Every structure is written in structure tokens, then in C-alpha cells.
Structure 1
Amino acid sequence: MYCNHCGANQPDHAVFCSQCGAKLQTQSESTVPSEQEIDKEQTPVDYLDQLRSDQSSNHTDSEPTLPIANKPIHRAEPASSTVSVPPSGSPPYRSTSPARHLTWIIPTVLLLGIAGTLFWWYQHQQDINVQVTQLHQEASQLALKGQYEPALAKITQATTLRPTYAVLTKDQTMIETANRIHTKLETVSSNLKQNQLQPAEKSLITLQKALDTRKESIFEQEKTLANRNQDLLAVLKVKKELDQLDTIDALAYKLDEVDRLNNQEAKEVHQLIINKIITISMKNAEKLLQQNDFSQATAAVKAGLQYSSKDEKLLSLQKRITSEKEAFELAEKQRIERAIQQAEEEDLKNRTAGVELLNVDTQLNEYGDIEIYGEVKNVATKPIYSITVYYSGYDAAGNYLFSSSASVEPYDLEPGATGSYSAYEYDWYEEVTVQIDNITWYLE
């Protein structure tokens, strides 16, 4: 079977032409009349004239005409009532007119144009998507490195290309938030460097609250910066308090606070506290050493060595305390020995020479009695009491006459004090020489 439109050979069961798409006519629908129909016609059909009529009706004046149209065509007179018909199964007449080709070329060109435009538009959108994805990735990488300004430039460019992408708007807002927090944290760092602790602490409290609500990874480096500023603030506060701390216990408490921090400033303050502990330990030890309190001085040095066991100044002072303690103990031993000796000598003196006889006088009165009187002095180092003077009397030839005693008044004599004594010997009527035999007393 052949297509009545383009003449292409088609399978018998085909409905539409595989070449031009026209609907195929079956033999029952064919325009070629059967012999019975021809016999019934009164006038024979001129197929060439019919073809010309079809061409003239399907073309405009501007379309080219077939060459055959320039030749006169004469309608054949019907010689008989029968017309020869192409045998069944032979290909029908194929038109070679350009107009018939245009009927499928123009739609094809339009379809190709539309397809090309759609393909270009699709490829263009794909290129934009690739560019947006790349800009988004670059912005994310820059933001994670803390380079917020170039990250914002990248994400803004991507948002301009795809303004309806919600993820771009969300990430842009997030980067702007991180940039604002970073700027404020940098201001806090500047305040801390200028030792402006109060405004820095106030800002840090606010920023910490804001960061606590953010779980995105972009804020991790800002949290790290905030923690570093918090540690620096704590170190500076401790450093400011150092001048007011003057005990090892108070300094040790602050040292514990600083050791929980992990930054360079904390290490510096740690050493400052250690140095102050050493200074206080040495000061306390020196003061106790002057008081010869060697045990407490040693304890003061050990208190400092707990925090700096290899400090040369403390170790040197510890050796000095030990040396001075040994020297003091030796001197004290010698002093005690001397004191004991002096005490013994003093005691001997107090017991044997504690009273000095200042004078003794005798006088024969008009009644023939001898009056004896004199003074003594306490030369002992202790008070004495119950002093008694023993004496004897001799005549002019030196013969012994009598012996007796007299008590000194007052009864008690302090060291360096003097007392007097007096006595009477009756009925001698001659001059008598009195000699002091002994003096006795008691030590308190």
C-alpha cells in the first residue's frame, strides 16, 4: 500500500504514513474509481486537469508554478465511456510540488526552533544552578573560616541569581548574625586590652546568652572566641585583685581559679601569684627569724615551697634558717652554761658575801656601858632578811672580854639597800675594842 499524499510505500495494516504523517486510505476509500463506477459516469475524468486544480487551490500567487503549467493542456475528448485505471497494487501518482514539501518542513523547523530554545533555556538554568551552588559552597567555606565579609559577598551574589531559594536567604541571615557577633566580640577583646573590664563583662554576658541559643557550626568559632575573652576577663580580674591579697591562703584560692583557665594570660597571672606567694613567705619567715622563732620561720618557708618547690630564694632562706637555728642553739647552750655558772657564783656570793659591813663604832657612856652601833649594806643580787651581826669585845691588852650579836634594821633589805644595828654592853667602865666576827642573813 502507498501513501496518497507522499507516495511512500507503507505496510497494509498502517493507518498513518510513516513519512509525512498523513492518514492512509484503504482500497475501499481510494479515490480511484472502479470499473463499475466509471461505466456509470457520463463524463470521463481528466486526472491531469484535476491535479492542476489541486495545485492552484493550495498555493498562493507568490509560490512557484510547476513547469508543466506553462504548457497548454487540452482536455481529451472522451472517446469512449471507459477510462484506463492503473492496475491495482501499483504506486499512486507522487506529487513533486514544493508546496507539498512545505507542509511538513515548516512545522518541523518550528518544532526544532522551539526544541532548541527550550534546550538553551534549560542549559542556561542549569548553568545558573551550578554557579549558585558553587557560590553557596564558597560562602559556606569562607564563613566557617570566619571570613564573613567575602562570604556575604558570595551569598549575596548567589541570592541575586536565585532570589527565591529559601536556603540562600537563611544562610545569608545566619552569616550576617555571625558577623555582628564577631564584631562585638572583637570590641570586647579591645576593651579587655585597655583594661576596661566592666563594659567588657557586660557585653560578654549578652553575647554568651545569644551564642547559647545557636547550634549551627558557623557559631562554634565565635563561641571559642567568647570563651577566650571570658577566660581573659577572669585573669584580668584576678590580676586586679592581687594587690589587695596579702595572705598565702587568699593567693592560693586565686591560683586555683587561674589554673582552671587555659590561655597565655592565665599562665602569666599564675606566675605573678607564685611570685607574690614567695615574697609573702620570705617576709613572714624573716620576721619570725628575727624573733628566733625558727620552727615557725621554717613553716613559713615550707608554705611557699608548696607552690614553688625549686625556688632558689626560698631554698636559700631555708638553709639560712637551719644554720641560724644551729648557731642560736649553740649560743643558747653556752649562755645557759654561763648562766648556771654565774648563778652558782652569785649564789655563793649571796650566801657568803651578800652583806657588806660599812662601819662599826663603840662608845663608853657616862654610866660605864659600851654602846656598839654601825651599818651594813645588801650587796647580794637578791633581797635578804633577818640580818644578824656577831661581834666580840677586847680590852686594851687584847684580852677577850665578851661576845654577842645585834639585829639589823629594817628586817628586809633589797639589793643595794642599807640597814643599821646597835647593841649595849653594860658595866664595863673601860674602853673596849669591838670586832665583828660574822654576819648572817637569809636569801629570799
Structure 2
Amino acid sequence: MPVTVAVLGRPNVGKSSLFNRLVGRRIALVDDTPGVTRDRKEGFQSYGGRRIRFIDTAGLEEAAPTTLAGRMTASSEAALQEADLALFVVDARAGLTPSDRAFAEWLRRAPVPVLLVANKAEGKGGATAAMEAYELGLGDPVAVSAEHGEGFGGLIGAILERLPEADAEEDEHDPDRPLRLAIIGRPNAGKSTLLNTLLGEERMITGPEPGLTRDAVSVEFRDAEGRVRVVDTAGLRKKARVEEKLEKMSTGASIEALRDCEVAVLVVDALLGMDEQDLRIARLAEREGRAVVVAFNKWDAVEDRSATRRRLDDVLMASLAQSKGVAVVPMSAATGKGVEKLMPAVRKTYAFWNKRVPTGALNRWFEGALSRHPTPLVEGKRIKLRYATQTKARPPTLLVFGTRAEQLPEDYRRYLVNSFRDVFDLPGVPIRLQARGTTNPYADKDED
């Protein structure tokens, strides 16, 4: 397993910029607004032959435990408990604050080594400004500028010096590759509560305030079949409502997480039902070729369950043609009731998404589909389809060849897709169909 390094500090000292530099890509949202990061975010990078898991945390603030700031601090404290090394980041440009001193005193009692990082120490005066951090009693500060990339060679060296010895059995090329899962949905549908329930810990900050999750936050756990890497995304709103800069950045991170996943769990508030915004999110998952499972959350609070479920099934049947037969799991993320059925549904849908059909079975299906419903006439001429092949899985993708195949009408394409889905039992996953016309191989040859 990789060693873990937690990045800690009060809000707006540049923790997320530092984290992005350390993992070598822009994972965490970065903005001048204090408190952009609200949940712990993970990234992996190798240095000196060591695989390191970095955790970007919410800002440390002195606040009551029941407040948002208090819950953010509790989340950062939990990250420290997982860490092999803590990076305590201060702002060299702004100088030390009472909060810096209070949290430094707390970190001196921590059971893990602490490396003091003086950020925003760029230019000639940067090193001098960083010297003030000696007052915190945490040893030599490492002066860096996350924004400009200065001082990172020294920082990496200092990190490697303080990490525990590598486990001889540590295997960087783990064949147990995790299933990549994204939790998507409208704000306040219960996505973060669901992730906490799956993990069995208060990993994500939750509360009645909508939009608490701003980043797409990645974390790993194990279910009965193996590793799962799950991303809890910020709620996707209608574009007209995405007004603030931070929300635009959050929406971009959510869409990126959706593109990177294999299965998307769409969390729907059962008390509100599935509205147009939920359908937009599901269609986005379809468009990206991702398998979808619907988590019908807050089911314990629904009074007329039969009518509510019928309405949901009607909406799904009418509006999600590309994910016909999508799995629906009624559940309560808050109480945990029904959540145990979610991962088996995800694993089953994932298997459909990965399915490859043997060539013989595919040919028999194709011949039968053509005989049951012959191809149409286009401009008075019959489209002649000759054969089909499955070019890939993830999602299942078919390529059909024939004379004028590229002119195949949309309704006939839908017929072939639905027939393929029914015959080979592929509910809940998008199926791609591409058509290619045959050409005369001698048409472009020079005559002898």
C-alpha cells in the first residue's frame, strides 16, 4: 500500500495549489476565495521509487463542531489519523496568525511527523519571509511557491526523508485494479451521505446546506468483490443557475469525474421524484458511454411507495432509451437501509458494460434481426446490410457493414440496438451502433 501524506493548514494558505503540484495534475479546485476545499481529496504520485497518497484537506478553523467550519476541521483531523506524514502549510507572505500558532501546538502533539511548509515564498525575499515560521517549533520550514513551482525539489527530498521505511511487500503494479465509480446527482440529493455509508465513516462533510461538496472527491474502499475507487461529485445544476465562478469550476470537475468513471450511480431524492435535471445528468452519463445505476434515496420517508416507484419507472422508460432497463435501488443513505443492495447492482451493471458477444452468436442474432425486420428503402433503393462485428466493450459497440449502410435511418438503428440489448441481456448500459457503407475497391484505381 502507498504511504499517506496529509496537507493541512488554515484556509487560503495555498494547500490545494501545493497538492496539485505534488500529484502532478490539477485535481483540487483552486481559487482566491477562502474555504474552497470542503472535503478531503486524494491523489497519487511516485517519488524516489515510493508510491505516495496525498490528501488535500479542508482548512483548519477554530469553530464549534456543529458548524460547517467545525465539520471541515473534523474532516481534516480524520485525515491526520490516516497519515504517515503531515505537511503543515503556512502563508509566508501574510505571516503567522494566531490560528497558525494554535494549530501548530496541536500538531506538536500529533502521533505522526510534521513537515512545516512556508508557501508563497517566491522571489528574493521569500526565504527571509519563511524564517518567521521557525517560531512554531516544528523544525526547519521548507520555503516553496506552489503557484510558481519554486522549491519543490527540496520539498520532495524533505518528504522522502520523513516517510517510514518502505514495506518490502509493497507492489506498485497491483493487478487488483479498482472499479471506477462516480456518485452523481442534483445538490442535496444525499450523495455525500451515501458515500459515508458505503465507507462506514464520516469521510464527507454533510449537512442540510445544499452544495456542501464543491470538488469531485475520490476515495477507495473494498466491497465483496474487490477494490472500488469512488468519486463523490459536486451537485450538477442547470446551466443557467451555474453563476458563481466556483460553481462553474465544480461542475467542470463533476463532468470530468463522470468521464473518468466506469459506472455512475445517479442519486435521486425519492421525495422529489426524478425531474428534468436528473434526466439531464443521466443523459450526460449515457453520452459519455457510462453505465448507470439509480439510487432512489430517502425511500424510508416515502408514504405511497407503489405509486412513487411507478412514476419513476415510467420516466425512465420514456426518457432514457439508451439505458433501457437501468437498475434502480430504493434505499436510505442516512439509515443505511437498502444500501447493501447498491454495490451488487453496480457490479452486475459493470459486467454488462464489459460484455463481449462471441462472433457466432453475434452473426446468428444479426441474421435473425434482418429476417424479422428487413432494412428499409432509402430514395427508392434497399439498404443491404452484410455483417456486423462488435468492435469493443465498455460500452458494447457494434459496427455494421453493407451497401448504403451509412444511410441507415435512426429508427432502424434503434431497432437493432434494442434487439441486441434484449437478446444478449444488456439492461442499463448504453450500446453504440456505427454503420459503414461498402465501397468498390477498384473505383479509384487507374485503368491499365
Structure whose alpha-carbon radius of gyration is higher: 1
Q: TM-score range by the shorter chain?
A: under 0.3
Q: Which has the higher helix share?
A: 1
Q: Which has the higher strand share?
A: 2
Flag the structure with more relative contact order, 1 or 2, with Cα contacts below 8 A and sequence separation at least 6.
2
Taking structure 2 as the reference length, what is the TM-score of the superposition?
0.18
